[in-house]
Chains A and B, each alone.
Chain A
Amino acid sequence: MYNFVSGPLVWIAFVVFVGGILYQIVRLVRLAKRDKVVLPYMSLKYGLISLVHWIVPFASKNMRERYEVTIVTFAFHLCLVLLPIFLLAHVVMFSFAWGAKWATVSESTALLLTIVVILAAVFFLARRLMMPEVRFVTFASDYLLLAIAAAPFVTGFMANRQWFDYDTMVIIHMISGAVMLMAIPFTRLSHMLFFPFTRAYMGSEFGAVRHAKDW
């Protein structure tokens, strides 16, 4: 089981992830050509300006108004992306399989980052349950997606702390990681891929066409 999960399943996960992303990009470009008002008005300059204002914390008005969401969201996403790449355990496995290696974070830092992700996920859950305007637009799929994103970190934490049976926990962790990767292109987790395009389009519309700011 361990061999399957740390071998072929990783392959499957990455193939589905990369292939799915490529498929979505191709589909997006095709659809953009059919949506005749998209491509003629896209502007690299204004798209980037808008993107910068929404990727730098507090650079837009709503990011300042909802500062608590901004802080948690940025912390969550930064740690979500950076931790799997710079975790010692992951780098060791990668190095074992492919030879290459790179810098890693210390174990205590990794622990801190994991807890940040978990606490952020709890914040998002609380937000969904407690704020009426968020609860109103929440479905089972939203809880499921949050669980899928949080699971690798929760199970990774549990494995690292050696809660329950380590071997089982590690397998579950790897499965959850694979599930998350495969879910990204085909669920709302694809906002990771699409948001630069929607942001660039709105930035182009507001900035290039309408000479106004959208932040």
Chain B
Amino acid sequence: MGLPATVLSSVSDPGLDEAAKSLTTDRIQEVVNRVITKETAARFRTYLNTCVHCGLCSDACHWFLSNDRDPRFSPVGKVKQTVWEILRKKGRVDPYFLKECSRIAHTECNGCRRCSMYCPFGIDIAYMLFVIRRICSLCGMVPQFLQDTVNSHAVTFNQMWVKQDEWIDTLQWQEEDARSEITTARIPIDKEGAEIFYSVIAPEPKILAQLIGNIAQIMAIAKMDWTMPSFDGWDNSNMAMFSGDFEIMGRVERAHHEAALKLKVKRIVMGECGHAFRGAVYDGPRWLGWQGPPVPVIHAVDFYHELIFSGKIKIARKFEETVTVQEPCNIVRGRGLGQKLREIIAATCADFRPPEPGFEHNFCCGAGGGVINCGPPWKLSRVKGNSVKAEQLARTKAHIVITPCHNCHSGIEDIISTYKLGQHVKFFSEILMQVIEIPDELKAE
């Protein structure tokens, strides 16, 4: 199974091509030296000196395994082609070389950290490639589609150029939709002192608004005290984290947390997204100099687990179709939510087919880490780089793949259609809406 092993001719991406035209070797060297001396320290140096070039990380990486074990895709191979080469030349590399670095670091690594679980020394290989992303970003060398989302973050504090009136309109529209089925469904806006601040990624109001309606119904059934902000900070996504523009990453996370602090909530609950959790809980706070998030952040999977197992929501019937699960890197490897995820699936689905390997050892969907956000020019490379996922999904013989993460949802969808697996993806909330028990008094006519 797999796409034919054709060699991809060089992909045309204006974000890289145009940058290459205006960059110089001197400028690149200046940026490289600044990043390495001022922004890296123990980890970068120690990982370089501790890696004994054993190659054991290779078997971890879906890119390597799916590209016929081509060493250019192994984690250490990717570091060799970028970090080692840049250091060997003391930063004096030409713009076309930096373009290749961006191709490798931005589009051929998802930062999923599966390799750190295979390296005997626990080297953070994803971190090494993220240093390359940082260098590339500071040189303006970022795939165009990814840079566009970063620009949107910078201008509108959300990823999708959503304006404030569109945001509020969307919330009111979804509230109406939700109320047409559940009479008490509301989306309280700017409610100070609420228990829960619910945040979403910008694609939700843009192209997946029904998910907002879903959560309004779930909150109504569970009788939760919640709110959403009308102002900037409603978007918990963070593409700047992936392009290497850490300044914007910090601004976006600060806006998100400050919105929650402004509304004096007890906790932030976020929708089904992996990288948003990572940005809000790890990468953002660290850049901002915080030990952790100032307001506790709860991922949707954790929240659904709480609702189901505390009895706040009841399950009326089980979902009958055969299901399997895509275990998102950022909440399973990244938060240990693998067990809770399996438990909420067990509570709601009749026929679950576990993926193998599973839990922390599951493969990345290939879309995360900013890779799918690099857009259509890189799609072929991305699906070609994850045939192991297709094989894994096919082996489960399940009809539905539950994807509690937006990037996984899109990435798995692309894999299913490319490899013609005949499966369908669903967010967990979509399944929950089909099986949740709606008390009679809440049902609309």
| A binding-site residues for B, Cβ under 8 Å | 28, 31-32, 34-38, 40, 50, 54, 60-63, 65-66, 69, 73, 131-139, 142, 145, 188, 190-191, 194-195, 197-199, 201-203, 205-206, 209-215
Contact = CB atoms under 8 A, between A and B. Distances in A.
Given A34-B41, A136-B74, A137-B76, A62 B46 contact: no
Contacts of A198: 46-47, 50, 121-123
A213 B121 contact: no
Central interface residue in B46, B50, B333, by most chain A CB within 10 Å: B46
Contacts of A69: 54, 56
B294 to A, nearest CB: 15
B42 A136 contact: no
B333 A35 contact: no
B360 interface: yes
Contacts of B286: 36-37
B414 to A, nearest CB: 26
Contacts, number: 141
Contacts of B121: 191, 194-195, 198-199
B41 A35 contact: yes
B43 A212 contact: no
Nearest to A31: B42
Central interface residue in B43, B44, B286, B357, by most chain A CB within 10 Å: B43
Contacts of A195: 50, 120-122
B118 A28 contact: no
Given A65-B59, A188-B49, A194-B49, A214 B117 contact: yes
Contacts of B120: 54, 62-63, 73, 195, 199
Contact of B334 (A132, A201, A212, A213): A212
A191 B50 contact: yes
Given A132-B71, A136-B74, A137-B77, A197 B360 contact: no
A211 B123 contact: no
Contact of B69 (A61, A133, A214): A133
A209 B282 contact: yes
Contacts of B282: 209-210
B336 interface: yes
Interface string B331-361: 0111110100000000000000000010111
B59 A197 contact: no
Contact of A32 (B42, B116, B291, B336): B42
A66 B71 contact: no
B120 to A, nearest CB: 6
A136 B77 contact: yes
Nearest to A215: B117
Contact of A34 (B42, B122, B291): B42
A213 B360 contact: yes
Given A66-B59, A137-B76, A211-B335, A202 B122 contact: yes
B206 interface: no
Contacts of B124: 201-202, 205
Contacts of B64: 133
B286 to A, nearest CB: 5
Central interface residue in B71, B122, B338, by most chain A CB within 10 Å: B122
Given A34-B42, A190-B49, A197-B46, A214 B116 contact: yes
A192 B345 CA distance: 44
Contacts of B53: 134, 137-139, 142, 188
